[in-house]
């Protein structure tokens, strides 16, 4: 059955996408996902916000620069939604974010303020993965090396081991549920583009949560936040470099 489904997907690709360059005329040129929306339409993927595989049990990925996204998966816990801290999202950005000099000083929680897998960053935040594979971002005031931390961090946060964001491994809306609904059905495929248009479709096998977490722990899969003030969307992307995705390919066509 899987071979038959792959054949149908390959036929769609060859008929509607192969050799073509995305026509984004009429699209918002500032929208990063316009080529992806063109591809979805050509491949017959209905636009939706559900966390399920895109086409016949396969998750579809577009060819992008450097990194490819698993999903936009927000934490189950945010400190700014915890009533004991009496904190708004804007407060969170003022305390833990960084001004973007290219955007008029607009505060964002992306890049440097967001921790990687190894060690504590200059904002005093580290990644902690417990024995159950829950992922937490933990803040410690004493490890915050910012010169202006006393001005930014309120008294109630001037302690160690405060969780500011957490992804549950299990349960409703957990990381396992989100990952396996998309990637542990039939697998995934990516449409790869060259200078003359789309030239190849590649397939990878299913991925379960345990495999995903193995690569989170090595840093191959990482959290890539794009949160900024003035936009209510949190942009909580889990991504990997394209070289990692290429290492998972099990078949290529044509």
Question: How many independent structural domains does the chain possess?
Answer: 2
Q: Which of 167, 190, 208 is the C-terminal boundary of a domain?
A: 167
- Do 223 and 110 sit in the same domain of this protein? no
Q: How many residues does the chain have?
A: 254
- Do 140 and 178 sit in the same domain of this protein? no
Average pLDDT over residues 180-209: 96
- Do 34 and 59 sit in the same domain of this protein? yes
The closest of 227, 254, 236 to 93, measured between CA atoms, is 227
pLDDT digit string, tens, across residues 65-93:
899 999 999 999 999 999 999 999 999 99
- Do 87 and 162 sit in the same domain of this protein? yes
pLDDT digit string, tens, across residues 169-191:
999 999 999 999 999 999 999 99
The closest of 215, 216, 209 to 115, measured between CA atoms, is 216
- Do 151 and 193 sit in the same domain of this protein? no
- Do 196 and 244 sit in the same domain of this protein? yes
Q: Which of 138, 167, 196 is the C-terminal boundary of a domain?
A: 167
- Do 148 and 82 sit in the same domain of this protein? yes
Average pLDDT over residues 123-136: 98
The closest of 92, 133, 84, 87 to 114, measured between CA atoms, is 92
- Do 237 and 221 sit in the same domain of this protein? yes
Give the pTM.
0.92
Q: Which of 152, 167, 182 is the C-terminal boundary of a domain?
A: 167
CATH no. for residue 176? 3.40.210
Residue 163 belongs to domain spanning: 77-167
Average pLDDT over residues 213-228: 98
Helices then strands, counting H and E runs in the chain, come out as 7, 14
């Amino acid at each position: 059955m899987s071979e038959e489904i792959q054949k149908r997907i390959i036929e769609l690709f060859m008929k509607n996408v192969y050799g073509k360059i995305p026509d984004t005329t009429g699209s918002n040129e500032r929208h990063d996902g316009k080529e992806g929306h063109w591809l979805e339409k050509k491949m017959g993927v209905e636009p939706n916000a559900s966390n399920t595989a895109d086409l016949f049990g396969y998750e579809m990925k577009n060819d992008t620069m450097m990194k490819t996204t698993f999903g936009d998966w927000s934490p189950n816990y945010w400190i700014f939604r915890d009533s004991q801290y009496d904190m708004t999202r804007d407060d969170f950005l003022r305390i833990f974010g960084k001004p973007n000099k290219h955007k008029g000083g607009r505060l964002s929680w992306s890049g440097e303020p967001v921790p990687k897998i190894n060690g504590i960053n200059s904002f005093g935040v580290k990644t902690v993965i417990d024995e159950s594979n829950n992922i937490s971002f933990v803040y410690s005031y004493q490890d915050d090396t910012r010169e202006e931390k006393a001005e930014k961090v309120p008294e109630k946060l001037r302690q160690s081991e405060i969780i500011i964001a957490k992804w549950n491994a299990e349960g409703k809306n957990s990381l396992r549920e989100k990952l396996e609904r998309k990637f542990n059905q039939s697998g995934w495929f990516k449409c790869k583009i060259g200078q003359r248009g789309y030239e190849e479709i590649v397939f990878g096998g299913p991925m379960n949560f345990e495999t995903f977490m193995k690569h989170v722990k090595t840093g191959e899969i990482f959290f890539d936040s794009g949160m900024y003030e003035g936009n209510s969307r949190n942009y909580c992307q889990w991504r990997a470099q394209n070289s990692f995705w290429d290492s998972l390919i099990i078949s290529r066509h044509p």
